[in-house]
Amino acid sequence: MANAAENTQHGPSEGAQYPDLVIVGAGLFGLTVAQQAVEHTGARVHIIDIRDHIGGNAYSYMDEETGAEIHKYGAHLFHTSNKRVWDYVNRFTSFTNYVHRVYATHDGEVYPLPINLGTINQFFHAHYTPAEAKALIEQQAGELAGTDPANLNDKGIQLIGRPLYEAFIKNYTGKQWQTDPSELPAAIIKRLPVRFNYDNRYFKDTWEGLPTDGYTKWMERMIDDPRITVELGVDFFDESQPYNKTALKAAGVPVVYTGPVDRYFDYELGDLKWRTVDFKEVRYDEGDHFGCPVMNFSDADVPYTRAIEFKNFNPERHDSQNPNKTVVWEEYSRFAERGDEPYYPVNTDADKALYAQYEAKAKAEPNTVFGGRLGTYKYYDMHNVIDTALTAYEEQVAPLLKKQIVVSPED
């Protein structure tokens, strides 16, 4: 396939024929639906995206100086226990044997995360057995042991005891949310992993790895079909271009929309709240700065939450990387405003109530399927996005296309 930026099609002139399906957003949700639509119905699909690249937040590019694959929107790590998703993605890419492990700097010392028996014994300068470590943490939870607190601060103490919580979670979370953890809901860390063995593998899924040729190559292969066209730098709400909301609705063209759901309805009920991330790039005249891909910074006096050293995601590319240069991105979290990249839904009770109203409007919107993080106001890992896209195609998009297409795929 031609480079996605070159695989463009200017919209039809007035009165010309639209494609069978228009997809707004070239992220994993939109690309999966496009691929499925072509494969199962022979549909002609046109994808538009306001960005200058495909792939959504999973987009990556190569850094010429260091030989590192840069994940433009922060670290993206593929993992899943869903066989349907694993079988699907392996049609378009192979995966490396990368296993994600995270480390945290606290008070001038580096510890393994998630909190495991190694973290516990290092922190307390001890050699606890699993049973002893469990008893210690229960004791350190104090009066919160056995309770189910509503706020994050108390829930963290209840889960891992006060000393470990205050060392590794409290200040990190405070920086991540710019909010005192006592004012955050416990649901944010209800699944905080604690392991009473020395397993420091971050994910516990059946399959894990990074795409061998990079994320962008993977996603280019997904839409390598002449019936799929892509147009970049196109705003769905810009009525000067033909693939706009008003024109497509008037023409009755099925649309898969993966942009912000509140933007689709012109924010008429109010803005849904998101967190965003800013990155500061730092380059070092050395081959390896941290010795790991991700280093968390748990202390309040470090303004960023973590640093990502991209070269270390791909040790198998060592021979093609610069042994004297490395690039690190420091990650700073803040509340998003309009125009920022939305990363994580804030999901307060007020936000959930507001989204429920937008969701009702979305369900009533004719010929339109809403999907992806932005379209459904949910945080998804990549495998979740693909799974929901496969389901959305089967249950929502395919029925729309059956009404739209009268020729068989063989034609």
Q: Give the integer Cα–Cα distance in Å for 215 and 73.
A: 12
Q: Please state the φ and ψ torsions of residue 3, each to the nearest 5 degrees.
A: -50, 140
Quick one: 343 exposed, middle or buried, by C-beta within 10 A (0-12, 13-18, 19+)? middle
Residue 276 host element (H or E): strand 274-284
User: Is 306 a known active-site residue?
Assistant: yes
Q: Please state the φ and ψ torsions of residue 36, each to the nearest 5 degrees.
A: -65, -40
User: Is 343 a known active-site residue?
Assistant: no
Cis omega before residue 211 (within 30°)?
A: no
Q: Which of 191, 285, 349, 410 is catalytic?
A: 191
Rounded to the nearest angstrom, the gap between the alpha carbon of residue 258 and the centroid of all alpha carbons in its chain is 14
Q: Give the integer Cα–Cα distance in Å for 157 and 164.
A: 8
User: Is 191 a known active-site residue?
Assistant: yes
Q: Which of 44, 227, 275, 373 is catalytic?
A: 275
Q: Which of 331, 355, 387, 393 is catalytic?
A: 331
Quick one: 71 exposed, middle or buried, by C-beta within 10 A (0-12, 13-18, 19+)? buried
Query: Which residues lie closer than 8 Å to 283 by C-beta, 6 or more apart?
Result: 65, 66, 325, 326, 327, 328
**Is the Cβ–Cβ distance between 371 and 257 less than 8 Å?**
yes
As given in the structure block, the two tokens for residue 78 are: 């593929």
Q: Give the integer Cα–Cα distance in Å for 179 and 302.
A: 16
Q: Give the integer Cα–Cα distance in Å for 263 and 42.
A: 31
User: Is 331 a known active-site residue?
Assistant: yes
Q: Which of 180, 183, 379, 395 is catalytic?
A: 379
User: Is 275 a known active-site residue?
Assistant: yes
User: Is 379 a known active-site residue?
Assistant: yes
As given in the structure block, the two tokens for residue 67 are: 């030989």
Q: Which of 49, 88, 154, 306 is catalytic?
A: 306
Query: Which residues lie closer than 8 Å to 337 by C-beta, 6 or more apart?
Result: none
Q: Which of 20, 154, 165, 195 is catalytic?
A: 195
Instruction: Give the residue numbers marked as catalytic.
Output: 191, 195, 275, 306, 331, 379, 381
